[in-house]
A and B are shown apart, each in its own frame.
Chain A
Amino acid sequence: MDLTYSDEHEAFRREVRAFLAANKEHYPKPFGVNRPPDDARAWQRRLIEHGYAARTIPEIYGGFGAEPDILKSHIIAEEFSRAKAPWGLVSQGISMLVPTLLEMGSEEQKRRWIPPTLRGEIVWCQGYSEPGAGSDLASLSTSAVEDGDDFIINGQKIWTTTAHAADMIFCLVRTEPDAPNKYLGISYLIFPMDTPGIEIRPLMTMTGNAEFNEVFFTDVRVPKSQVVGARGQGWTVSNATLKHERGMMGDPNASAARMNSILQLMGEETLDGMRVIDMPVFRDRAMRLQGKVLAMQYHGMRLLTMQANRQDPGLARLIVKLQACEINHQLAALAVDVMGEMGLLYHDSPLSRSHGVWQKRYMFDLAMIIGGGTAQIQKNLIAERGLGLPREPKLAKAK
Chain B
Amino acid sequence: MEFSLTDEQRQFQEEVDKALGRISPLERVRKAAASPHEFAQDVWSGLADLGIPAMLVPEAYGGLGLGLLDAVLVAELLGKHVVPAPFLGAAVIAPLALVGFGTDELKSDLLPRIAAGEMRLGAAIAQPVSGNHEKTGLHARSGKLSGKSTFVVDHIGAHGFVVADDDGRLFYVEADAEGLDILTIDTVDRTRGTAQLAFSDVAARPLDGGNEGLGRLADATRLVLAADLLGAGWKMINDAVEYAKIRNQFGRPIGSFQAVKHMCSEMAAGLEPGRALLWYAGYAFDNDLEDASLCCMHAKAYMAEAARFAARTATEVHGGMGITDQLGLQYWFKRVGWSYQAYGSPERLREEAALKQGLIARERFAVGAAP
Contacts and interface: CB of A to CB of B under 8 A. Distances in A.
The DSSP consensus for interface residues of chain B is helix
Contact of A280 (B1, B257, B366): B366
Contacts of B126: none
A291 B272 contact: no
B265 A287 contact: no
B268 A294 contact: no
Contacts of A286: 354
A389 to B, nearest CB: 4
A104 B253 CA distance: 39
Interface in A274-306: 277-278, 280, 283-284, 286-288, 290-292, 294-296, 298-299, 301-302, 304-306
Interface string A178-220: 0000000000000000000000000000000000000000000
A19 interface: no
Interface string B272-287: 1111110110110000
Contacts of A283: 350-351, 354, 359-360, 366
Nearest to B4: A305
B302 A383 contact: no
Contact of A323 (B273, B351, B359): B273
A315 B272 contact: yes
Contact of A287 (B5, B237, B270, B350): B350
Contacts of A74: 1
A294 B265 contact: no
A266 B358 CA distance: 13
B83 interface: no
B295 to A, nearest CB: 7
B256 A390 contact: yes
A267 B359 contact: yes
Q: Counting chain A CB atoms within 10 Å of each CB, which of B4, B253, B258, B364 scores highest?
A: B4
Contacts of B346: 288
Nearest to A284: B350
A248 B1 CA distance: 23
Contacts of A316: 272
B47 interface: no
Interface stretch (A3-11, A53-61, A159-167): A3-11
B273 A1 contact: no
A280 B348 CA distance: 11
Contact of B350 (A4, A291, A376): A291
A30 B257 CA distance: 46
B66 to A, nearest CB: 13
Contacts of A299: 272-273, 275-277
B255 interface: yes
Contacts of A295: 273-274, 276-277, 298, 302
Q: Counting chain B CB atoms within 10 Å of each CB, which of A5, A287, A291, A319 scores highest?
A: A291
B346 to A, nearest CB: 8
A350 interface: no
A249 B223 CA distance: 30
Interface residues of A, number: 54
Nearest to A321: B269
Interface residues of B, number: 52
A388 B241 contact: yes
B266 interface: yes
B22 interface: no
A295 B346 CA distance: 15
Contact of B265 (A263, A280, A284, A382): A382
A71 interface: yes
A341 interface: no
Contacts of B260: 389
B134 interface: no
A356 interface: no
A2 B1 contact: yes
Given A389-B241, A390-B253, A288 B258 contact: no
Given A277-B360, A301-B276, A383-B265, A284 B4 contact: no
Contact of B2 (A2, A294, A315): A2
A397 interface: no
Nearest to A381: B265
A387 B4 CA distance: 22
A354 interface: no
A392 B260 CA distance: 11
Given A295-B302, A304-B3, A392-B256, A379 B265 contact: yes
Interface in B193-248: 237, 241, 244-245
Interface string A371-394: 000001011101110111111110
Contacts of B353: 287, 290-291
B260 to A, nearest CB: 8
A349 interface: no
B242 to A, nearest CB: 9
Contact of A379 (B266, B279, B350, B351): B266
Contacts of A380: 258, 261-262, 265
B121 interface: no
B261 A298 contact: no
Contacts of B295: 294
B347 interface: yes
Interface in B8-53: none
A9 B1 CA distance: 9
Interface in B36-88: 69
Contacts of A323: 269-270, 273
Contact of B302 (A277, A292, A388): A292
Contacts of A315: 268, 272
6 contacts: A295-B302, A319-B272, A322-B269, A379-B269, A386-B265, A387-B265
Given A295-B302, A393-B252, 12 more contacts: A266-B359, A288-B350, A298-B273, A299-B276, A305-B1, A305-B4, A315-B272, A319-B268, A378-B265, A387-B264, A389-B256, A389-B260
Question: Which 7 A-B residue pairs are closest in the complex by CB-CB distance?
Answer: A287-B350, A383-B261, A298-B276, A382-B265, A379-B265, A295-B273, A319-B269
Interface of A: 1-6, 9, 71, 74, 263, 266-267, 277-278, 280, 283-284, 286-288, 290-292, 294-296, 298-299, 301-302, 304-306, 309, 315-316, 319, 322-323, 376, 378-380, 382-384, 386-393
